[in-house]
Amino acid sequence: MGVRIIQNERAKGEKAMNFFEKITGSDMTKSFRSFESRAQNLPADYQEAWEQIKTHFWPYSDFTGRNLMPIFDGVLGLLEEAAADGQSIQEVLGDDIEGFCSALAGEEGAKSVRDKWREQLNPNIARKLRKL
């Protein structure tokens, strides 16, 4: 008889979400408020870039947006470190913020709505073509 190992968020050192937090997204609201307070400490050009980054990442969101929280945290950490080092925003992100966001989202496995539709549509078209 095998032993089943059960790991939950508390075992990993993370706070477990209760049902209410999962349904309402209150955990995400708290996270996003902390992101916004951290972003307020950045220089003005970094704050402007942060606003653009948020705008360009939302198309890669799943139904809830929870998949973007670690990405937002990482990008904000990058901006904080770069600002502390005195780098310009162009040195950090380049001139194409939208391209930076799409490349980062692709590396993290986040899919845009277009990618999700494509995955659903391609098998349907192939099945229809086989019937011809």
The structural domains of the chain, ordered by start, are 27-131 (1.10.1900.10)
Q: What is the pLDDT of residue 132?
A: 67
DSSP state of 15: P
Query: Can you give the pLDDT at residue 68?
Result: 83
First to last CA, the chain: 52
Calpha distance 111→113 (Å, rounded)? 7
CB 60, CB 66: distance < 8 Å: no
Exposed, middle or buried: residue 40 (CB in 10 Å: 0-12, 13-18, 19+)? exposed
> What pLDDT was estimated at residue 25?
72
The segments of the chain whose pLDDT lies below 70 read 1-17, 22, 107-115, 117, 132
